[in-house]
Structures are given as structure tokens and as C-alpha cells.
Amino acid sequence: MTQTSTDKPPVVTPVRAVIALCLLAPFVAMLWVSSYAKTEPLLAGIPFFYWYQMLWVLISTVLTVVAYKLWQRDQRARRAAQGGEGR
């Protein structure tokens, strides 16, 4: 049984949109420098500029793991929908 173009699952799905947002958020946060280019508030004597960036290292890690897990789930679902092909 061959699949026609109408049988294929869509390339852009809500899960893939969430994955893209998870991977895009750290870039937007770090490139919007004017939002964090200040010294106040201090955290344990560390200016906001520095601790904000370090916080995004942790947030980026979590978002990347979430994106990876969602991608794995998406790929498993696609393989299952195709009848287990490509295992």
C-alpha cells in the first residue's frame, strides 16, 4: 500500500511548533539586550545583567530537553502511523 500526498501527516504540527518555540525562546531572550542591560536588581551582589544570562543557561537546557523529548515522541507517533516502517 502506497501513501498518496493526501495521506501523509502534515509537516508543521502543533507539537513541532512548540518544539520551534522551545528552541527559539533563548535566542530571542539573549538577542533582546535592552531588556536586561541593567545592574538592578542585584542577586547575591551579582548585577542583573550577569545573573539573567546565567539563568537563561539553565532555562535553555530545560527547553532543549523538552524539545528533544517532544521530537522523540513525534517521531515515534509518525513511525506508528506509517505501520512501523523505518525501524
Q: Domain-by-domain residue ranges, the chain?
A: 14-77
Residue type, 46: I
**C-alpha cell recorded at residue 35:** 531588556
Residue 72, H or E segment: helix 48-81
**By three-state DSSP, how is residue 1 classified?**
coil
Largest separation between any pair of C-alpha atoms in the chain: 66
Q: Are 45 and 53 in contact (CB under 8 A)?
A: no
Q: For residue range 8-47, what is the model confidence (pLDDT) as tens digits?
A: 667 888 999 999 999 999 999 999 999 999 999 999 999 9
Q: 0.75 cut: is pTM over it?
A: yes
Q: Are 56 and 30 in contact (CB under 8 A)?
A: yes
Q: For residue range 38-75, what is the model confidence (pLDDT) as tens digits?
A: 999 999 999 999 999 999 999 999 999 999 999 999 99
Mean pLDDT on 68-84? 89
Q: Is the pLDDT of residue 4 over 90?
A: no
